C-alpha cells in the first residue's frame, strides 16, 4: 500500500457489519478516498456482486483504479460528485442498490497534501477544492463573495460569533492567496493569539462553501431512497454537527408514516414509512480507535434500512 495515499478507514468493522446484508448485492461507496472502506466492503462480497466507488477527486479515482486487487466482485470506479450517483448507475444500467456508504469530509491524502490547500497549520495556497476541475478556489470565493454573504457562511458553517466583524476584516484584506495570508489578516483584526479552534472553524466554513458540501449531501439524500432496494441500507459517517444533524433529521422524517396535521379524519398526505433506523443513536469510535486514529474522534455513523416503497 502506498503510504502517501493511505487513509485509515474510520469505524471499518462497524460499517461493513451494518451495511452489507447481501453478499451478492450492489454496493456504492460514494466517498472512495483511499479505498479503505471500499476494500473492506468488497472483501465481504462474492464474485456475483458489484461494488462501485465514486469520488469527485481525480487523484482518488486514479490511485484506486491502479491499486485494487482483481479477484472478487466486479469493481467500478467513477469520477463524479455523489449527488450525481444516479448518472453512474444509469451508465452501468443498474436500477437498484443494496447499500450506499458516505464517509464525508476529506481523505488523509487531501489533508496532508499541502498543495491542495486544506491545511491551516502549514502555509499553502488558499485552494480547498476537492476536485481540481471545479472553478472557484477558497481564494476566489473570498474575492467574489460580498460581506454579508461571507458573514452568513462564517456563521452557518463555522458558528463564528459576530461574523460581520470577521467578514469585514477578511474583505479588507482580499486578495488572499495563501493560508498564511488569511491567518495574518485575522491576526491584524483579533491579535496574534487568536484561538486556533476559531481559525480551524474559519477554514472549515470556507471548505464547506467551496465544495458545497451540505448541498451535495442534501441532493444525495433526496434521491438515494428511491434507488435502494427493499432491505437495502444507507450508512453515513459525518464529522461535524451540520452534516450529522441533516442525516439524523432525514432518517427521522423517512421513519414517519402519516404527516397530516392532527385531527384530520382521513390521511391526505399518503406518506408511508420508508426507512427504519438500524443504529439507535450515532455509533462513535472506541477509545482504542481514537488512540490509533485521532481523525475518528468526531465521527458519527448512522445507518438506516429501507422498509417501504413509495406509494405502498
- Return d(Cα 275, Cα 36) in angstroms, integer: 27
C-alpha to C-alpha distance for 34 and 239, rounded to whole angstroms: 17
Among 27, 81, 137, 248, binds ligand SAM (CB under 6 A): 81
Identify whether the C-beta of residue 145 lies closer than 8 Å to the C-beta of residue 210: no
271: which residues sit within 8 A by CB, 6+ positions away?
256, 257, 258, 259
Helix residue ranges, H only, 98-137? 108-112
105 lies in the site for ligand SAM, by CB under 6 A: yes
Nearer to ligand SAM, 35 or 158 (CB): 35
Per CB under 6 A, 127 contacts ligand SAM = no
Give yes or no for residue 82 binding ligand SAM (CB under 6 A): yes
Verify binding: residue 243, ligand SAM, rule CB under 6 A: no
Question: Is there a contact between 237 and 7 (Cβ–Cβ < 8 Å)?
Answer: no
Partnered with residue 97 across adjacent β-strands are: 228
Interface with ligand SAM (CB under 6 A), residue from 25, 28, 36, 254? 36
Element containing residue 27 per DSSP (H, E): strand 26-29
Smallest separation (angstroms) from ligand SAM to the CB of 230 = 26
Q: Which residues are bridge partners to 79 per DSSP? A: 55
Give yes or no for a contact between 86 and 97, defined as CB atoms under 8 angstroms apart. Answer: no
Shortest CB 97 distance to ligand SAM, Å: 16
Nearest to ligand SAM of 111, 260 (CB atom):
111
Each residue 196-225 as x (binds ligand SAM by CB under 6 A) or -, in order, gives: --------------------x---------
**Position 7 contacts ligand SAM (CB under 6 A):** yes
| Closest distance to ligand SAM from the beta carbon of 216 (Å) | 4
Which of 42, 52, 126, 130: binder of ligand SAM (CB under 6 A)? 130
Q: Which stretch binds ligand SAM (CB under 6 A): 35-43, 112-120, 133-141, 167-175?
A: 35-43
Strands ordered across the beta sheet of 300-306: 74-79, 50-55, 26-29, 97-103, 228-238, 300-306, 275-277
Q: Judged by CB under 6 A, which of 16, 50, 107, 293 binds ligand SAM?
A: 107
The CA–CA distances, whole Å, from 293 to 2, 84, 285, 299 equal: 18, 31, 9, 11
Q: Should residue 56 be labelled a site residue for ligand SAM when binding is judged by CB under 6 A?
A: yes
Minimum CB distance to ligand SAM smaller for 4 or for 148: 4
Task: By CB under 6 A, tell whether 37 contacts ligand SAM.
Answer: yes
Q: How many residues are present in the chain?
A: 312
Residue closer to ligand SAM (CB basis): 60 or 186 = 60
- Closest distance of CB 259 from ligand SAM, Å: 29
Residue with the shortest CB distance to ligand SAM: 33
Residues 41 and 115: beta-carbon distance below 8 Å: no
| Residue 231 CA to its chain's centroid (Å) | 23
| Minimum CB distance to ligand SAM smaller for 185 or for 285 | 285
Query: Nearest to residue 245, comparing CAs of 171, 190, 283, 300?
Result: 300
Q: Binding residues for ligand SAM, per CB under 6 A?
A: 7, 9, 31, 33-37, 54-57, 60, 81-82, 103, 105-107, 130, 216
Amino acid at each position: 500500500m502506498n503510504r502517501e495515499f493511505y487513509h485509515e478507514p474510520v469505524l471499518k468493522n462497524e460499517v461493513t457489519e451494518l451495511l452489507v446484508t447481501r453478499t451478492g448485492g450492489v454496493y456504492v461507496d460514494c466517498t472512495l478516498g483511499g479505498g479503505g472502506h471500499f476494500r473492506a466492503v468488497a472483501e465481504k462480497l462474492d464474485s456475483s456482486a458489484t461494488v462501485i466507488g465514486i469520488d469527485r477527486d481525480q487523484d482518488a479515482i486514479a490511485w484506486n483504479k491502479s491499486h485494487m486487487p482483481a479477484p472478487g466482485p466486479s469493481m467500478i470506479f467513477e469520477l463524479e460528485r455523489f449527488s450525481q450517483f444516479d448518472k453512474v448507475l444509469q451508465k452501468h444500467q443498474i436500477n437498484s442498490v443494496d447499500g450506499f456508504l458516505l464517509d464525508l469530509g476529506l481523505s488523509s491524502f487531501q489533508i496532508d497534501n499541502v498543495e491542495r490547500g486544506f491545511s491551516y497549520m502549514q502555509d499553502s495556497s488558499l485552494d480547498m477544492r476537492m476536485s481540481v476541475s471545479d472553478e472557484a478556489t477558497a481564494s476566489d470565493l473570498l474575492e467574489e463573495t460580498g460581506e454579508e454573504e461571507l458573514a452568513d457562511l462564517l456563521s452557518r458553517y463555522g458558528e463564528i460569533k459576530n461574523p460581520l466583524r470577521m467578514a469585514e476584516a477578511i474583505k479588507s484584506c482580499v486578495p488572499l492567496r495563501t493560508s498564511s495570508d488569511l491567518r495574518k489578516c485575522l491576526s491584524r483584526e483579533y491579535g496574534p493569539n487568536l484561538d486556533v479552534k476559531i481559525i480551524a472553524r474559519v477554514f472549515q466554513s470556507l471548505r464547506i462553501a467551496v465544495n458545497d458540501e451540505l448541498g451535495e449531501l442534501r441532493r444525495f439524500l433526496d434521491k438515494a431512497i428511491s434507488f435502494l432496494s427493499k432491505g437495502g441500507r444507507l450508512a453515513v459517517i459525518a464529522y461535524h454537527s451540520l452534516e450529522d444533524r441533516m442525516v439524523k433529521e432525514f432518517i427521522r422524517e423517512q421513519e414517519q408514516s402519516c404527516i397530516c396535521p392532527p385531527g384530520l379524519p382521513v390521511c391526505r398526505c399518503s406518506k408511508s414509512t420508508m426507512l427504519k433506523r438500524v443504529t439507535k443513536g450515532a455509533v462513535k469510535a472506541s477509545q482504542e480507535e481514537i488512540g490509533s486514529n485521532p481523525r475518528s474522534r468526531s465521527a458519527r455513523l448512522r445507518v438506516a434500512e429501507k422498509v417501504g416503497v413509495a406509494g405502498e
